[in-house]
Structure 1
Amino acid sequence: MNEKRHWGLIVNPIAGIGGPVGLKGSDGIDILNEALRRGGRANSAHRARMAIQYFYEQQPGVQVIWHTADGPMGGDVVRALAKPLTIHRRTSTKTTAEDTRALAEQLLCQPLELIVVVGGDGTMRDVLGVVRSVGLEGGVYPPIVGIPAGTKIHSGAYCVSPRAAGLLLAKVADGKVVEIQSGDVMDIDEDAFRRGVVRARKYGEVRVLTDGILVQNVKSAAANDEEEQLLALAEGVVERWDDESLVFVGSGKTLAEVMSIKGLPNTLLGVDVVLNNEVILADATESELLEVLRLYPNQPKRLFVTAIGGQGHIFGRGNQQLSPAVLSQFAKSEIEVIATKAKMAQFAGRPLLVDTGDASCDQWLTGPIAVWVDYNECWYYPVASLPIEA
């Protein structure tokens, strides 16, 4: 009989709720209430199930006892998969950061093999705070496997996708070589973020499991030597711009440069829609994007996105407004990635990544995609939902 494994599970039930409705985060009760008012939907439980289900598909004979809290912080996910669990904390349907910290404190002090954390940068900061408060920093405690579910994920403590997390868990269960390393816990000032200013800082490190591939890098900022490349690249995009097309412009400094040369206002950390050289929709939510697509069913359209430096994600990080429902309205040929050669060099030939939360959408997006890297130079570059194929 296989030995039973004891793994922890912490789910932040509201992680990512602000992304599709354009709020760029969910930290704080006021932002949470506004996200709910706008119709925001949490997806952390769904992403937790994706990861854990994929793990069991890879390792169906492994017996895991999941140590978690009742309800939305983990118990609901485990029960939905009909797997055994041990409840360490009772929670209500409405949880707060204090619930995350309380569960983390209980699990970090248990003799567990690992702890799965589902959330975003704020969630990992809560876990780090507990590591410090109970005197475990620099010591030994169960390593973490992070399942990304937040709107903004700058930290190097999360896997690149739920499926990648499931594969990493499968490697652990299979006895494959998996390292314990220090993962940077990063976060940004959300208020500044909503004003288009990125102020990221490192808060510390947590012990994470990694194989060197499935866990994401810390997000990289553009280096000064990219500036000339960026200018030429942006000028090329503007040169090819068709004013009669409905153009969807994603977030990031690369596309902000394009909009600047075009002479149009830009939402640095949002999605804008341009028609006839006018921004007809600024900082759009998912529902607003779907509505504009409904209003212009026969209009030629294009979608510009960039890749996150250091990580390689083109969908599923900071642009959840571009949901599977929105992306399904585009042909793959209508989607273009705009990224300098310097940025692409960071990926060292690894594929660009998608993590939309919908397996069929991720599958549709995989394969070669057009990536404009210079004024008049386009590459066809691979896209995957995992940095390696399982």
Structure 2
Amino acid sequence: MSQRRQNHSGKNHRPTNAAQRDKVRKRFLRVQGEPFVRSIHNDEDWTHVHRTGRILVCPDDQCTQRLSAKMSQKKRRFLSDVSGSSCNHFVSAGGGGPMTDEHLWLQQKLLEICRELGFAARLEVGFSGACVDLHVDSTPPYAFEVQRVSTNFTARRKAREWNGMQTLWFLPESARQKNTGKGKNHGDPLFTEPCVRLGYRVSGSSEVPTANQLRSIWQGDSRCEVQLHVGVTIGKLSPDRRSFTSTQLPLTKFISQVLNDERRWYKARLIRGRQGGMWAGWLLNADVAKYEAAIQAADEERQRRETTEKKTNADCADLEELNRAAGEHADAEQAAVDDARIRDERTEASEDTPHTAPPARVPPEPDAQPFVSPVATREPWWKRIMKLLIG
């Protein structure tokens, strides 16, 4: 929301009757010469400004509009303009209209909580185009904003980050907002930007205050007390430490954790809803460390199982190969046994069948001479003569 800065020093203020048409009810003021913005709903601030003779002016440090702190007969605190003129530095020019009683009351409540926790905090007007920012001197420094209307959450957050400041948006349950920035994160900023849903409960019970009760509380006329709580984007570590669930916290406890840097906004979608959706949120740093350790342990266990499974598969493959070789060897042995059995069966069958033996071969006599047929030969001449002589 941007400011209408028409009534700064050196420029004419508008007539009172023109300002009355805007129906602006001022809740904040500043003592001239002091840097702090004060609220009429804060008892300490009221004591400091009501009937003390101090010069009261518009919270905008560039505006010279004089103010007066007054109380009605019904003990209702209010501010009136002095010198017949007025300003409207709490009126939004972005379509949001005047800052509501709820907005102003919540800003003051946040300021009180920060101071009770020991942190220096101040309300500033016109900073970075915002109507009223609560700046907290923490480490890191924070800008708290109550946001009831749609705006460019992303651009405003990045502008503060550029100046070294973190942003925390409080989104009341009484309104719904959209992120008007461009990009994939447009839509409901609750789940993508550093936001929390802010709710009311009647003190000491879980009862939700009625609209009339809330209206009287915001205007400072009610004796009904309420407790503020935040939720939706508050993460709680699950028992297995491997996920986060959504939970609620009292506003004061949540702010204390944030300003003491115990709880931070994590952009990663780690909070799991009941329907399975996941979104960014505010997580305790100690829980994140436990979560990361559990995830690392789970990854190591998964890798160990995969390694064991691979080794088991390799061993199974080796065993299967051994079984196959043993099977082949057994088959070969069985085949040999079968062949031997078949040969034995054939031998036994041949012995049982009768048959005629072939005639035995007669070997030749060892001293026998080969037969030679006679051949006619002529006797010698001297034998023939002897035969003739003897006769």
State the TM-score, normalizing by the size of structure 1. Answer: 0.27
Mark the structure with the bigger radius of gyration.
2
State the TM-score, normalizing by the size of structure 2. Answer: 0.27
